[in-house]
Amino acid sequence: MSLNAESTAFRSALEVIRAVEPRVADAIGAELADQRESLKLIASENYASPATLLTMGNWFSDKYAEGTVGRRFYAGCQNVDTVEALAAEHAKELFGASHAYVQPHSGIDANLVAFWAILADRVESPALKKAQVRQVNDLTEADWFALRRELGNQRMLGMSLDAGGHLTHGFRPNISGKMFDQRSYGTDPATGLIDYDRVAEAAREFKPLILVAGYSAYPRKVNFRIMREIADSVGATFMVDMAHFAGLVAGKVFTGDFDPVPHAHIVTTTTHKSLRGPRGGMVLCGPELADQVDRGCPMVLGGPLPHVMAAKAVALAEARRPDFADYAQRIVDNAQALAEGLLRRGTTLVTGGTDNHLVLLDVSGYGLTGRQAEQALLDSGIVTNRNAVPQDRNGAWYTSGIRIGTPALTSRGLGTAEMDVTAELIHTVLSQTTPGANADGTPSKAKYVLDPAVADKISKQATDLLAGFPLYPTITLS
């Protein structure tokens, strides 16, 4: 039997790897098998195309390329210049941005680039220059206090973690919470929705240098026009982290007031998640911040990853195709169908539904913690992650929630009918799981009881559901 190009490429790669370290080759093959057999519902995960995956395994990995296109600290970067410029060109065209910086290794790196670019643009301070040349891990709490003081004790206002924000939006243990005097805005306790009047009130009282919008677990749209008006009213730089919903912006599902690019001073994102590219980050901005952003390396970043920038160029080119817009719309259609299926079965959802790619379940109605629910679902072939809900009584480790999303299953071709089946599988597992006890008989927030027969049955039903939607159907490894 003749093999297609994709199967030949991946088989050949594994043969080469196996000759050096067979256990790595085995793990790679096992990962593909596991992903093929599991209902992947982690909202921040997806499946990159074979072209994107293959682009990361090449000689670009061997190059150092500090600096920017045409201005490198190393010689011999002409080919890196080509792929970096292509990735930036595709990003600008895709999102309608005037400038794109595609070097960040991750979303957190992209946010750090944005933070320091804003600080460098707004505040000239000897302490800032000092911090740039020191190891961040060497800075003590006193150092951070002194730095913030010299910088004018700069302030950040971002969405709280339990309301759906990200840890880089000012969570105190994170570097963002150490760099800035930070305050969080939450959501309305009754609805779980952003109350823009309260955000405006907090901004007037706190007067932040940076107002951050964006989320990792907020299942609704954000009105970026209103948020920009709030930022302007207090003279803040408006930053949007669209890592989770960049694919919905690229696919023109989020437009007008819900597209952050025309409204924000600076936008950060990952290139995986709903954008379906390689793991990495990116910064979009106007000309006012472009020079500072382009100093991301060496200001914040180490050597860029040229092989990943090349893969970003491929993925962004794919996202510019007409079929990506259809894909983005199906992500939202599927998320709403999944939410409706869960609601019909009595599951409590934060905000009562979704406008985007994710759904946030409050599993306390099942008598479970998020950690118990997460593991019980995993035992049953359903991959999710626990997540805090607003005013979570169980904290950020055990949580009371489960976050699920539809980008990955939509990439496999599942539709709204399959989402209803998925809702039934989730509900069955959660309703059949009960809290466990510690060895001393006290209630446990981690242990749980689920009949293995139920887990096996659901796992088989999940596998059967996926059988009609094969993952990477053009690729065979044996």
Residues noted as catalytic: 64, 66, 241, 270, 273, 279
Crossing angle of helices 107-122 and 126-133, in 10° steps, is 150
Q: What DSSP assignment string belongs to 336-363?
A: HHHHHHHHHTT-EEGGGS-SSSEEEEEG
Q: How many CB atoms lie within 10 A of CB 403?
A: 26
The whole-angstrom separation of Cα 273 and Cα 167 is 17
**Identity at 349, one-letter amino acid code:** L
Strands 358-362 and 348-349 turn out to be antiparallel
Per the listing, tokens 């000092």 go with 130
The whole-angstrom separation of Cα 12 and Cα 387 is 40
Sign of the dihedral defined by the CA atoms of residues 196, 362, 330, 267, in that order: positive
The whole-angstrom separation of Cα 101 and Cα 89 is 10
Q: How far apart are the first and last CA of the chain?
A: 12
Per the listing, tokens 């707004």 go with 122
CA distances from 397 to 90, 162, 371, 415 (A): 39, 11, 8, 32
The whole-angstrom separation of Cα 166 and Cα 158 is 9
Q: Are the C-beta atoms of 328 and 368 separated by less than 8 Å?
A: no
The whole-angstrom separation of Cα 97 and Cα 6 is 34
> Cis before residue 298, ω within 30 degrees of 0?
yes
The whole-angstrom separation of Cα 160 and Cα 173 is 13
Q: Are the C-beta atoms of 225 and 263 separated by less than 8 Å?
A: yes
Q: What DSSP assignment string belongs to 16-52?
A: HHHHH-HHHHHHHHHHHHHHHHSEE--TT-----HHH
CA dihedral of 234, 237, 243, 245, whole degrees rounded to 10: 50
